[in-house]
Amino acid sequence: MAQETSRCVGPVVLLGPPGAGKGTQSKRIMEHYGIPQVSTGDLLRDHVDRGTELGLIAKAVMARGELVSDDLVCHMVQQRLMLPDCKRGYILDGFPRTAAQAGWLDALLEHELFDKSCPTKAWPIVIRLDVDYNLLLLRITGRRSCPTCGRIYNVHFQPPRVDEVCDEPHGTKLVARNDDRLEVIQPRLTAFREQTRPVADYYERTGRLISVNGDQSVDSVTDEIFKIIEDRHA
């Protein structure tokens, strides 16, 4: 499919449990529509790597598999959405994750954070990726990513051509995420069940939730997501 890098897409929210494929699909949407991936997990990990004040707080919370406080995360998201590359839209990957964050986002969008000339200033397209629990465990424990380009692999499902090495020309050694350890996965899944499911329920009640079967191939999931975005703008 040809790239669509000039029209307004508006906000796209990807909901789903750890390992559902939010990051994988965000990168596909980003490449196709030319709108940025705003991943709260990636932004927080960047703060941790840089040793910022937020990073120091987030590091311990993330290592326990719990959620960072709403105030800190919302402030971080607001700063990111103010950058000019969000004018035509953006993909929220892993945000909102609590009822408070969803309410905050709605309030923010009421004030039209991005370009008023954009015809898609309306509510976000909210897509939930549903994946079977046992598959999630395989996806999370098998995940590797490239610290240079961010490309995501999986030793079971999307292995690199050479073991543990990125396929891109830089050939960086792949790494496993610090919170993909078995003892942290369970608290992350619990946080999703207890704090993030109500967010999906909220969007469902307001008629804004679209569910996609995330148990399909990466390409099939992408096809469904692109169709949802196209239907919204038809």
Rounded least distance, CB 171 to ligand AP5, Å: 19
Can 27 be counted among the known catalytic residues?
Answer: no
Q: Can residue 18 be called a binding residue for Mg ion (CB under 5 A)?
A: no
Distance CA 166, CA 115 (A): 37
Q: How is residue 67 annotated by DSSP? A: P
Question: Sign of the C-alpha dihedral, residues 225, 25, 93, 81?
Answer: negative
Of 27, 139, 143, 144, the catalytic one is: 143
Can 188 be counted among the known catalytic residues?
Answer: yes
Q: Can residue 23 be called a binding residue for Mg ion (CB under 5 A)?
A: yes
The nearer residue to ligand AP5, 53 or 234, going by C-beta atoms, is 53
Q: Element (H or E) spanning 83, and its range?
A: none
Of 59, 97, 128, 139, the catalytic one is: 97
Stretch 102-131 residues interacting with Mg ion (CB under 5 A): none
Distance CA 92, CA 31 (A): 15
Task: Indicate which of ligand AP5, Mg ion, none lies near residue 218 (CB less than 5 to 8 Å, by partner kind).
Answer: ligand AP5
123: region left, alpha or beta (phi > 0 left; psi from -120 to 50 alpha)? beta
Query: Cα separations (Å) of 126 from 97, 150, 152, 161, 229?
Result: 12, 24, 23, 34, 10
| List of residues contacting ligand AP5 (CB under 6 A) | 16, 18-24, 40-41, 44, 61-62, 65-68, 73, 94-95, 97, 101, 139-140, 142-143, 152-154, 157-158, 179, 188, 217-218, 221
Task: Indicate which of Mg ion, ligand AP5, none lies near residue 120 (CB less than 5 to 8 Å, by partner kind).
Answer: none
Peptide bond preceding 169 in cis form (omega within 30 of 0): no
The nearer residue to ligand AP5, 8 or 103, going by C-beta atoms, is 103
Can 144 be counted among the known catalytic residues?
Answer: no
Can 128 be counted among the known catalytic residues?
Answer: no
Residues annotated catalytic, as ranges: 22, 97, 143, 177, 188
